[in-house]
Amino acid sequence: MTSLLQPNLILATLLFTIGILGVMWKRNAIALFMSVELMLNAANLAFVSFAHELGIMSGGILVLFVMTVAAAEAGVGLAIFIALFRARRHIRVDEHDTLHG
């Protein structure tokens, strides 16, 4: 069977790049975070395909850790969104420019 490593790495890099673009371009809090999830998935793909190519069966280990971290991040992140949303609920969006990015 031909090695899928190279196309898989390119796929991972593409997904990662799309994730970066999402973080740069998106204007919606949740969509931003989804782009970050896309980047983490790209990292997982790279890791699994490396492990497969090198014949290391435990390549899934990193995926498990990344998933745990992603779940933890999702929990905290979505809680932060809720807090942010509550803090600015009564105020029109463009008036609430308190921090200058």
Partner 1 sequence: METAAYVPAINLHGILPFISLLAGGMLCLAADAMSGKEGSRRILPVISFVALAAALVSFLLPGYPTGSFLENTFYSDSFSRLGCIVILVSAIATTLMGPRQVIRRNLPSGEYYTLIVFAALGMVLLALANEMLSAFVALEIMSLSLYVLTGIDRRSGKSAEASFKYFILGAFASAFFVFGSGFLFGSTRTTFLADAHNYFATRGGNMPEGAEMWAFIAFGLVFVGLCFKLSLAPFHMWAPDVYEGANTPTTLYIATGSKVAAFAFLIHFAHAFSSWQIFTAPVTFIVGLIAVASMTWGNIAAIVQSNLKRMLAYSSVAQTGYMMIAVMVLVALPSLQAAGNLNATTIANDTTLIYNAISLYLAGYTIISILAFGIAFHIGGEGSMAAYRGLFHRKPFAAVGMAIAMFSLSGLGFLPPTIGFIGKFYLFKEAVRFNMTGIAVIGILTSVIAAFYYLSLIVTMFMKAPDEENGIELAGRREERIAGLGGGDAIVRVMLATATALIFVLGLYPGLFTGLAAKAVTTKPMTTAMVKK
Partner 2 sequence: MVLFLYSILFVITVALAVGVLLNKDTVRSAMCLVGVMMCLAANYLLMQQEFVAFIQIVVYAGAIMVLFLFVIMLLNLREVEVLPWYLRNARFWGGVLALLFFFVVGFGINVFRSSHGIPGVVAKEQALAESGTPEVIILATQMMTTYIVPFLLTSVLLLVAVIGAIVMARRRDEDGNEIVLDPEEVDA
Binding positions for partner 1, rule: CB under 8 A: 12, 16, 19-20, 23, 29, 32-33, 36, 39-40, 42-44, 46-47, 50-51, 53-54, 56, 59, 61-62, 65-66, 68-69, 72-73, 76-77, 80-81, 83-84, 86-88, 91, 96, 98-101
* Closest by Cα among 7, 72, 1 to 45: 7
Residue 82's Cβ-side half-sphere holds a number of Cα atoms within 13 Å equal to 6
| 71 contact choice in partner 2, partner 1, none (CB below 5 to 8 Å, kind-dependent) | partner 2
SS3 47: helix
Q: Is 43 in the site for partner 2 (CB under 8 A)?
A: no
CA distance 72 to 17: 23
Give the contact letters, 74-93, x = binds to partner 2 (CB under 8 A), - = no.
xxx-xxxxxxxxx------x
CA distance 30 to 40: 15
